[in-house]
Amino acid sequence: MGYSAPCTEILGFPCHVLEMQDSHYFSALILNLGRSRKVKPEDAPVALWLQGGPGGSSMFGLFVENGPYLVTKNMTVHLRDFPWTTTISMLYIDNPVGTGFSFTDDKKGYAVNEDDVARDLYSALSQFFQLFPEYRKNDFYATGESYAGKYVPAIAHYIHSLNPEKELKIHLKGVALGDAYSDPETIIGGYATFLFQIGLLDERQRKYFQKQCDECIKYIKKQKWLKAFEILDKLLDGDLTNRPSFFQNVTGCANYYNLLQCTEPEDQDYYGKFLSLPEVRLAIHVGNQTFNDGSEVEKYLREDTVQSVKPWLTEIMNNYRVLIYNGQLDIIVAAALTEHSLMAMNWTGSQEYSTVPRKVWKIFKSDTDVAGYVRTVGDFHQVIIRGGGHILPYDQPLRSFDMINRFIFGIGWEPYNG
């Protein structure tokens, strides 16, 4: 496994440093700017950001969601409002191998399950902290969204298991999971009713959708993962069937990331074109390397798609600080489905979680609008952000920024004066 380590002297542009074996990671470290909290970059928490998919490049998170820059239509970059890099040193890694600019020279280099994902990520992180020892003492958080709801628990559990015996300790403090696809069985089981209740299915369509979901779950329980994946892909995604899914046919919409958007916003595609510019490729040292669309990664992870990481997530919730957040308008990993999954989990705070009241969250006392809703049990925080969908930092940058800072810095959820 290999790693493209970051150049700290050039904000956002990684330099290729080390390659090992047959797989090569691509990553970018973005040092925080330290504006709002006066945090020194060398002391700031380090947060790993992982995109979903499977096969989504973390460069999407960097340029579309929470990095310091966004790409415009004319292929220039502008400073983003409320980047997470204001207070946190963000590490973006194209993961699993074969995603984005990461690549492998051997089919055996592709991950086929979350054990592979965790092993490769741990190797990359270990190399990073060896190459940049000044960050070893910093608090470390693993974060991500969507299918990274599997990656994040996988790498966090791997660190948790290996830290006691390793000389090089990764100072894992917690995880943050956005619209997390961590528990497929529970999520799949609730799709039909949820889609009917928000008006995307009629009663006849709901019955068919539920029948297909029940069939999918039947195969999940039998551990016939590939058959379960095929049913789900035809029903929702159509990624590997190369034809519109049932969802796309009956709703007329290709986008299930935001209830109010039938297609994905145009500006979410600008970053890919930007990364193809010769001068950008030269700056980030990728040469003629293909920017992979993730289809190969998804193909190798087909059987992983319908498997749960709930046991790992439970152990993380029992030992670390955890933030699980959803956009109110998300369809594919809806807030209600996440809550169903959390209610079914058996962790040390589960009994209190089932009874603790949810609080209204505002950023400032003077706000007339509500940012979202928060439920807290010890070091566990569940947040629903109003007005946002699956790509939450894009839809609600200020609310997402406030949320991640309240969580990582332990500020609490009371509104600020002002």
Residues carrying an active site annotation: 146, 330, 390
Q: Give dist(CA 400, CA 386) in Å, integer.
A: 10
Q: Which helix (H) or strand (E) holds 49?
A: strand 46-50
Calpha distance 184→308 (Å, rounded) = 6
Nearest alpha-carbon partner for 260 in 325, 323, 331: 331
Cis ω on the peptide bond leading into residue 96 (within 30° of 0)? yes
Identify the three-state secondary structure at position 9. coil
3-state secondary structure at position 364: strand
Q: How far apart are CA 144 and CA 389, in angstroms?
A: 15
For residue 249, the one-letter residue type is N
Structure tokens belonging to residue 354: 């089932």
Which DSSP string corresponds to 232-244?
HIIIII-TTTTS-
Contacts of 139 by beta carbon, 8 Å cutoff, 6+ apart = 45, 46, 171, 173, 408
